[in-house]
Structure 1
Amino acid sequence: MAALESLGDYGSESNSDSGSESMDFQAHLKPLGDGGTIASLQNKMTVNSAPIVVANTKSLLGAPLDSTTREVTYNPKYEDLFAPEVGPQHPFKTKQQLAEKNILSGYVEPAHVNDFTFERERRTFTSYGYAIDPSHDASLSSTKLVGNMVELEKNKGATVFECKMKREGDKRKKETARDPSDIDSYLGPWAKYADEKTTMKPTEEEQEELDEIVAKRQKKGKSGTEKSVEEKSTLHIKDALDYQGRSFLHAPQDVGVNLRSEDPPDKCYMPKKLVHTWSGHTRALSAIRWLPHTAHLLLSCGMDAKVKVWEVYNERRCLRTYLGHKQAVRDIAFNNDGSRFLSAGYDRYIKLWDTETGECISKFTSRKVPYCVKFNPDEDKQHLFVAGTSDKKIVCVWDITPAR
């Protein structure tokens, strides 16, 4: 109360209109029930804290909102947001594209279907071609079915769970009674059916069909093994012989290494850097072999059905390519002097080649895939070789000596 009295004294001591202001202040002092007073001051200054809002004439006039607008500066009405686009109708849109949509792929209606009902109708429609119309009001007592009307009438609108599948085996009956007390006629649960046939011999028509199938298989198998690719080779260097009449099988003399030395070196060192990379095969390699004694040539075979011989020294060129296999070449092997080599391919053929001329001397087959081949190491048995085949056998019956 002391604060209110001091505030009243402050109003009475004002220089300008002190008397009137004091009277106004005293007039607004109201007595309370407990004997006190409260002062209500009337402030003549007004403050508006609301933001300044500019009315948009578009929303008032109901103009449709542009569909390309990304930012809206006012609060549009519901009708403005979903108003149709302004402009002529697209002349090339289909009826499906012009239909009303509330999502990108079409129009979705709110509905509630439990998992069992959905799976039942899906299986029914898949099996019989009809199902309950999903757009029909479910609150009604009757349900509407759509789809194949022929199957609908045939099954009387039953679902896939209500239809009873009649199996042929249900009609079959045992030949004898099931009473165990009848020892003479009872055969147990393994008794035959009345129409059961136990003959293992096929009928005449079935036998003819089987014979045709077997003949086709045999014919197909023979054609796969008897046909072979024509053998040929390509020389990649300009001259097959040098000025002294020597072929590439002759060891080079200008490499600074004694290539024909039979004695091993005193010390062997691990390789420390990559010397050269030979590239020429279009697919993966399956085997490489060094030329015996000199090792100045490298023979390689790959999954591209090609065999190539390479220089190890000098320019390290590809000297000759041997083509003669229909499928990938699995293994190769030189004879003791390197003048000939064998190539084994997945086409079930083993072929003997002349290394220098590239001529295919002979070819052998056991109608099995040869996985590896090897000449007999003895000098007097260089006309024999063995092969490991896909039937888990080692075949050693081939003689490369030409028949007289």
Structure 2
Amino acid sequence: MDLVEGYGSSDGDEEIQIPTEPKKFKVQSAPEVGLEEKYLENKLYLAPGQQTMSINLTHEVLSQPVLGPENRNKKRRENQNVFTGVVEEQGISEFDFRAQERSFRSLGFALNPSDSVEEAKYVGNQEQVERLKGNNFLTNTIKNNVDLKRKAKGDPSIVEGENAYLGPWAGYEGEKLGVQTGPTDEEKAAYIARNATKELGEAETSKKLRENEETTTFHGKNERDYMGRSYMHPPVTEVEHVNFSGQSEVQQCFAPKKCIHQFSAHGKGVSAIRFLPKTGHLLLSSGMEGKVKIWDVYGSHSLLRTFHGHTKAVRDVTFNNDGTRFLSTSYDKYVKLWDTETGQCLNRFSSGKVPYVSRLNPSEQNLFITGQADKKIIQYDIRTKEKVLEYSEHLGAISTLAFVDNGRRFVSTSDDKTMRVWEFGLPVVIKLIADPSMHAIPAIALHPSNKFIACQSLDNQVLVWGVGDRFKQNRKKVFTGHLSAGYACQLSFSPDGSYLTSGDADGKLWVWDWKTCKVVKRFIAHKNAVTIDAEWSPVEASKVATCSWDGTIKFWD
């Protein structure tokens, strides 16, 4: 009841308060705030990672350190104060910078990079500046010379001759546009006479070389024995485990182990060696001094004959099928055919370009092909002494050639890192092997079965291709381990086809098993020089000959 009594109307005498409308105040979203120095020092800092600011601050404020602890692992900014001043980054055109840099290097002056009016406009050789009037190889002297005057436009009624109409195309006074410059008539006549004398001298020297300097020297006592047999005949005395008739079956071959003889063959490096086909009792070698020599293998191990006729290094030699003749390929732009027995030069072939390799067709011995430095393969006929055909599809110098399929086809490699298969007598590529991962192939060897070729790749690998009906790479056979990059190290198979040999840049001889691709033997054959060639004897099971750029030839057994 007390609550009811307490709840009652107010006294009538009291005044009733009427609510009034609240006053409206103007909101200032961006009030003017005084930025005192003390306020800046205590309150305003740059947050880490902040990239924009809504107010303008002085340089002193912006250069203050970033709020928070300093990262010790972060590199400090390099000190820009140097002895000559302060280093500051500036934006400049690459073209303008290179132009001024080359001008200063070639002419001795350049534009002054400073903006100061008091300093000179150019820095460097001021005499050169005055002489060239500040022009370099990129500026036009006529255009920048304000003293020159334009030529008169001429009379519009005159087309040619004096006072002809030039119009807006009139040039400047003193210009030499269209004036022919160069050697005078006297200088041209002297140049022609000098070159004619030089060419005549070279022609006479070449003619003298062909006619008189192709000689041979026999180093033995007698060229023939009491029965009239020359050194081309196999040894009369029996050699143990050697059959020179060539009719017996191929023996099982073994990897060589030790050196049994060494020849000091050439005054300079030895480029190639070849055993006499079938009997193998003679060894042919070519040298960097331009000579070709033939050696006795089983008798006295002596030099039998030297062939003189090249003025530059001989790069390659190759026998015909019976060994009675051979081709020598030299850097003097000549391929020469020699008689192995008499040493007589039978013929000379040249197209005016440097030949690198020559190969006789095994089925047509009167034809041979030559790979040249001008990206072409030339086919010659020995009987007519003329060029028969030209194969021109490669994009680089020819590295090596190899006949396959009994001379019906041949393979060529080039510095363009491609391999091409040709039909002999038809200058059209029947197979092109080009892959971005391929390297140049400077050497090829044909397997005794005539079914595979081994290719020396300059990425320190020996790759294998099948040469049957389908010319395809055998990717399961890859021989590695040696260092051949940069050198044309030749390859050779053992007579039974069970081993593959190659030299390398360190002077080693590598022997791989043909079936397993594993290294069977490796040893240093020549110290401090590349082993450029290795040849298996055609009649002995384990004899290998190696040659090197140190001028030596070694026999291994």
TM-score where L is the length of structure 1: 0.50
Change (3 A) 1:333 1:247: same
Give the aligned partner of residue 248 of structure 1: 231
Structure 1 residues 218 and 382, CA gap change in structure 2 (3 angstroms) = farther
- 1:101-152, CA deviations, whole angstroms, 9 ceiling, x for partnerless residues? xxxxxxxxxxxxx99xxxxxxxxxxx9xxxxxxxxxxxxxxxxxxxxxxxxx
SS in 2 for 1:248: coil
Give the aligned partner of residue 231 of structure 1. 214
CA distance in 1, matches of 2:248, 2:185: 70
The one-letter code sitting in structure 1 at the alignment partner of 2:142 is R
Distance in 1 (CA, whole Å) between partners of 2:187 and 2:132 is 29
Match of 2:310 in 1: 325
1:199 aligned to which of 178, 182, 186: 178
Distance 2:217 2:286 in 1: 15
CA–CA separation in structure 2 for the residues paired with 1:223 and 1:344: 24
Correspondence 1:284 to 2:284: no
Distance 2:172 2:370 in 1: 56
Q: Pick the aligned partner of 1:258 from 240, 243, 257.
A: 243
Mapped to 2, the partners of 1:296 and 1:355 lie a distance apart of 13
Please give the residue correspondences for 1:9-88 in structure 2 after superposition, counting only pairs within 5 Å: none
| Alpha-carbon offset, residue 342 of structure 1 | 1.3
> Is 2:315 aligned against 1:345?
no
The count of corresponding residues between Structure 1 and Structure 2 is 236
Identity %, equivalent residues: 42
Instruction: Please tell me whether the aligned partners of residues 321 and 362 of structure 2 are also in contact (alpha carbons under 8 angstroms).
Output: yes
> 3-state SS of the aligned residue for 1:240?
coil
Deviation of 1:365 (Å) = 1.3
CA distance in structure 1 between the aligned counterparts of 2:223 and 2:319, rounded to whole angstroms = 20
Question: Quick one: structure 1 residues 200 and 361, their matched pair in 2 at CA, closer, same or farther if it must change by over 3 Å?
Answer: farther
Greater mean alpha carbon deviation, residues 161-170 or residues 263-272: 161-170
1:390 equivalenced with 2:373 (yes/no): yes
Deviation of 1:359 after TM superposition, in Å, equals 1.1
1:166 and 2:131 matched: yes
Q: Give 2:281's match in structure 1, choosing from 279, 293, 296.
A: 296
**8 Å contact kept, 1:301–1:331:** yes
Matched, 1:365 2:350: yes
Tell me how far apart the structure 2 counterparts of residues 284 and 193 of structure 1 sit (CA, whole Å): 65
Matches within 5 A, 1:67-216: 163=127, 164-167=129-132, 169=135, 172-173=142-143, 195-199=174-178, 206=184, 209-210=187-188, 212-213=190-191, 216=194
Answer yes or no: is the 8 Å Cα contact 1:305–1:323 preserved in 2: yes
Larger Rg: 1
- Structure 2 CA distance for aligned equivalents of residues 200 and 166 of structure 1: 23
Q: Cα deviation per residue 1:309-362 (whole Å; 9 max; x = unaligned)?
A: 001112211110111111111111111111111112211112111111111112
Q: Is the 8 A contact 1:172 1:194 kept in 2?
A: no
More strand by percentage? 2
Instruction: Specify which of 272, 275, 290 is matched with residue 305 of structure 1.
Output: 290
Give the direction of change, closer, same or farther, for the CA distance of 1:196–1:325 in structure 2 (3 Å limit): same
Instruction: Find the counterpart in structure 2 of residue 104 from structure 1.
Output: none
Amino acid corresponding to residue 199 of structure 1 in structure 2: G
| Superposed displacement of residue 210, structure 1 | 4.7
Higher helix share: 1
- Structure 2 alignment gaps of length 5 or more: 1-82, 85-107, 109-122, 152-166, 387-557
In structure 1, the residue matched to 2:68 is none
Partner SS for 1:172: helix
Equivalent residue number for residue 267 of structure 1 = 252
Report the alpha carbon displacement of residue 217 of structure 1 after superposing the two structures with TM.
4.7
- Are the structure 2 counterparts of residues 196 and 218 from structure 1 closer, same or farther at C-alpha, using a change threshold of 3 Å? farther
Post-superposition shift, 1:241? 0.8
Distance 1:171 1:297, change over 3 A: closer
Q: Paired residue for 1:181?
A: none
* Relative contact order higher in (CA < 8 Å, ≥ 6 apart): 2
Describe the SS at the equivalent of 1:282: coil
Q: What's the secondary structure of 2:278's corresponding residue?
A: coil
Query: Does the Cα contact within 8 Å between 1:228 and 1:325 map onto a contact in 2?
Result: no
1:206 CA displacement: 3.8
**2:326 aligned counterpart, secondary structure:** strand
Give the Cα–Cα distance (whole angstroms) in 1 for the partners of residues 316 and 197 of structure 2. Answer: 28
Q: CA deviation at 1:265?
A: 3.0
Unaligned runs of 5+ in 1: 1-113, 116-126, 128-158, 178-184
Aligned partner letter, 2:218 = L
Partner in structure 1 of residue 442 of structure 2: none
CA–CA distance in 2 between the matches of 1:200 and 1:313? 77
Distance across 2 between alignment mates of 1:400 and 1:219: 35
Q: What residue identity is the alignment partner of 2:269?
A: A
Q: CA RMSD in A?
A: 3.6
Deviation at 1:231, TM superposition (A): 0.8
Give the corresponding residue for 2:444. none
What is the rounded CA distance, in whole Å, between the counterparts of 1:211 and 1:389 in structure 2?
35
Normalised TM-score (structure 2): 0.38
Q: 2:324 and 2:285 mapped to 1: Cα distance?
A: 15
Q: Deviations over 1:46-82 (max 9, x none)?
A: xxxxxxxxxxxxxxxxxxxxxxxxxxxxxxxxxxxxx
8 A contact 1:255–1:314 mirrored in 2:
no
- CA distance, structure 1, for counterparts of residue 272 and residue 330 of structure 2: 12
